[in-house]
Amino acid sequence: MSKSKMGDPDNSNNNSNSNSNSNSNARSGPAAEHCVDIVHTVVPPPHRSGLQRLGNRLKETFFPDDPLRQFKGQSPARKWVIGAQYIFPILEWGPHYNLRLFKSDVVAGLTIASLAIPQGISYAKLANLPPIVGLYSSFVPPLVYAVLGSSRDLAVGPVSIASLILGSMLRQEVSPLKDPILFLQLAFTSTFFAGLFQASLGFLRLGLIIDFLSKATLIGFMAGAAIIVSLQQLKGLLGITHFTKQMGLLPVLTSVFHHTHEWSWQTILMGFCFLLFLLITRHISIRKPKLFWISAGAPLASVILSTILVFALKADGHGISTIGKLQQGLNPPSWNMLRFQHSHLPLVIKTGLVTGIISLTEGIAVGRTFAAIKDYRVDGNKEMIAIGLMNVLGSFTSCYVTTGAFSRSAVNHNAGAKTAVSNIIMSVTIMVTLLFLMPLFQYTPNLVLAAIIVTAVIGLIDVPAAYAIWKVDKFDFVVMLCAFFGVILISVQHGLAIAVGISIFKIILQITRPKTVMLGNIPGTDIYRNLDHYKDAMGVRGFLILGIEAPVNFANATYLNERILRWIEEYEAEDDVKKEGGGLQFVVLELSAVSGIDTSGVLLFKDLRRALEKKDVELVLVNPLGEVLEKLQKADENGEILRPNNVYLTVGEAVASLSATVKGQCSTTI
């Protein structure tokens, strides 16, 4: 096959080796003297065994970052060091750590701690957990991440969406009010499974799973979740005591307006004042990023101010509910609270999976965003292992699901964090809080926590991004709407599942119905492009030149067969009308975009060849890629598909060479 071209090989070799002034256009220049000898041979790719090819494929699929590259050519001792640094990134940057970096990190650490304390308490309440669990979860996981994580900007702790999902999924089976201990046990066990699942994805290098949450899906999902979360806060902001346990838009609104007699004007007044205050500070920081500390400090300021107000006015006796007494001291161990032999095991595993994927997606997206800004790289699989182990260890020490939070990491970045030490500073600050400051929170009103949550999640509703999606891709916009309405009308998990399902369906549909386009020659060149797109391109008489724009496989072989035959029928019908005569002589398939083929795809070419033979039309293949060429050769024992004179490297060469052959003579100009 490798020398299937008609041209004299010596001659064409000479030509190839001549200087670059020689002409690639088959229809002019010195080439004309040699009569189509400048046709370039399509050669099979260099031989590789099946095992080599499998290895290569697996490597490209699971190790696109080639993690062993840095070990090449290093001494054994150095290899150990690199290995340890690979597992514990702190060993890489730790030795170069200095006072200047430390100063920056202290400022950033204290800033995010002031945000983490009120957010931790609020998010724990969102997850139906005791408020103190939110503080516990801001103490241990940041320490673990500081050792294992590779991002310099990620601020670790509980996040709103994972808290919401954890709380709402567990509440389907267990009531946090009636059975708080069991609920807590299930939360820790779910956290354990979430971490296990996240770390496994990293170890097995299956990070590709989170790629299936597209940008459009996430925008719709986050906006929906933000609305659901905000609606839940109406309980705290309005002071309702008998609130619905459901999450959907309709049940919550029904519940709100069926309990108007429970609305407390003191709560409403104070709550909306603080909400307004927080929203204004947020707005200021968005307008002037240098003033980030205003929005970063506002939640803590609100907590302090509201606590003093409640204490001074003794407002807790006047319808304003407060957090109440919190236990002093560090995280108690919780490995004895993990429940594996339990009737709720399926629920716990499912909750772990969903919260694990969601929080992983957030954590990695945040890490990548800030790495791109500061121009360093985070390794997705390593991050998964870090976040996973952090959650597993967290589940042993009374923490629930944590990850890198977007809002807090942005504050961290703006406050000048240089390394993961800012997480350690935050963690130490929270330790101090846990040890000494817990009694101060006794009079903190719930309404301020609700206001903090609303302010935090309102930023998840990204209208400009939604508009940009509408402008660029209508289908993506539909996916986004499905995620959004799925979340607010059905449930958080179902909305997500529907959006992912539709996205995957679209990919499969694209593969099942690939585009075939008719190519034409751009006058005065050797270039062949889509006739529909390039209006000055012109068809070549006697040739039907089709580009296939997808891998050919079982899912589209039948379709392609029918579609190509229809192209031919249409060509012939048009030819009849024009009475040009001559008719169709060659069907040229340009295969540059056919990146793969399977056995059904190979059959397509055999079937086409046979169908065309009956019409006395020749099938010509142009630029089959390595894999395609190999498989066609293997399947082509009788030389049915690949014959001399029907495989070319470019459409231009195919047309030039075949035109010359038809005329039965060399033509100096055509």
Secondary structure (H, E, C), 280-324: HHHHHHHHCHHHHHHHHHHHHHHHHHHHHHHHHHCHHHCCCCECC
Q: Which is nearer to a copy of itself, 105 or 653 (CB)?
A: 653
> Segment near a copy of itself (CB under 8 A), from 14-22, 114-122, 184-192, 352-360?
14-22
Q: Which is nearer to a copy of itself, 24 or 200 (CB)?
A: 24
DSSP 649: S
DSSP 95: G
Q: Which is nearer to a copy of itself, 54 or 250 (CB)?
A: 54
CB 598 within 8 A of CB 610: no
Residue 526 interacting with a copy of itself (CB under 8 A): yes
**CA-CA distance, 602 to 609, in Å (whole number)?**
11
Looking at residues 449 to 488 of the shown chain, list those that interact with a copy of itself (rule: CB under 8 A): 468-469, 471-476
504, 574, 666, 667: which one binds a copy of itself (CB under 8 A):
504
Report how far apart, in Å, the C-alpha atoms of 280 and of each of 118, 291, 299, 312, 333 are: 18, 12, 12, 25, 40
Q: Which is nearer to a copy of itself, 330 or 522 (CB)?
A: 522
Residue 40 interacting with a copy of itself (CB under 8 A): yes
Q: Smallest gap, in angstroms, from Cβ of residue 136 to a copy of itself?
A: 33
Residue 8 interacting with a copy of itself (CB under 8 A): no
2, 9, 52, 54: which one binds a copy of itself (CB under 8 A):
54
The residue among 336, 311, 542 whose CA lies nearest residue 439 is 311
Site string for a copy of itself, 203-232 (x = CB under 8 A): -----x--xxxxxxx---------------
Looking at residues 372 to 391 of the shown chain, list those that interact with a copy of itself (rule: CB under 8 A): 372, 375, 377, 380
Residue 510 interacting with a copy of itself (CB under 8 A): yes
CB 123 within 8 A of CB 166: no
Residue 657 interacting with a copy of itself (CB under 8 A): no
Q: Smallest gap, in angstroms, from Cβ of residue 594 to a copy of itself?
A: 8
Collect all residues with Cβ–Cβ distance below 8 Å to 89 and sequence separation of at least 6. Answer: 148, 149, 150, 382
Question: Could you count the other beta carbons within 10 Å of the beta carbon of residue 227?
Answer: 19
Looking at residues 617 to 656 of the shown chain, list those that interact with a copy of itself (rule: CB under 8 A): 623, 625-626, 631, 634-635, 649-650
Residue 532 interacting with a copy of itself (CB under 8 A): yes
Q: Smallest gap, in angstroms, from Cβ of residue 530 to a copy of itself?
A: 6
Site string for a copy of itself, 576-615 (x = CB under 8 A): ----------------xx-xx-xxx-xx---x--xx--x-
Residue 574 interacting with a copy of itself (CB under 8 A): no
CA dihedral (127, 129, 130, 133) in degrees, to 10, reads: -80
**CA-CA distance, 286 to 300, in Å (whole number)?**
18
Q: Smallest gap, in angstroms, from Cβ of residue 47 to a copy of itself?
A: 12
Q: Smallest gap, in angstroms, from Cβ of residue 29 to a copy of itself?
A: 7
**Starting from the edge strand earliest in sequence, which strands make up the sheet with 618-622, in order?**
528-530, 516-521, 543-548, 586-590, 618-622, 647-648
Strand 528-530 relative to strand 516-521: parallel, antiparallel, unpaired? antiparallel
**CA-CA distance, 579 to 631, in Å (whole number)?**
40
18, 254, 328, 336: which one binds a copy of itself (CB under 8 A):
18
Q: Which is nearer to a copy of itself, 67 or 324 (CB)?
A: 67
Residue 321 interacting with a copy of itself (CB under 8 A): no
Residue 23 interacting with a copy of itself (CB under 8 A): yes
Q: Which strand (E) or helix (H) includes residue 543?
A: strand 543-548
Residue at 554: amino acid letter: F
Collect all residues with Cβ–Cβ distance below 8 Å to 288 and sequence separation of at least 6. Answer: none
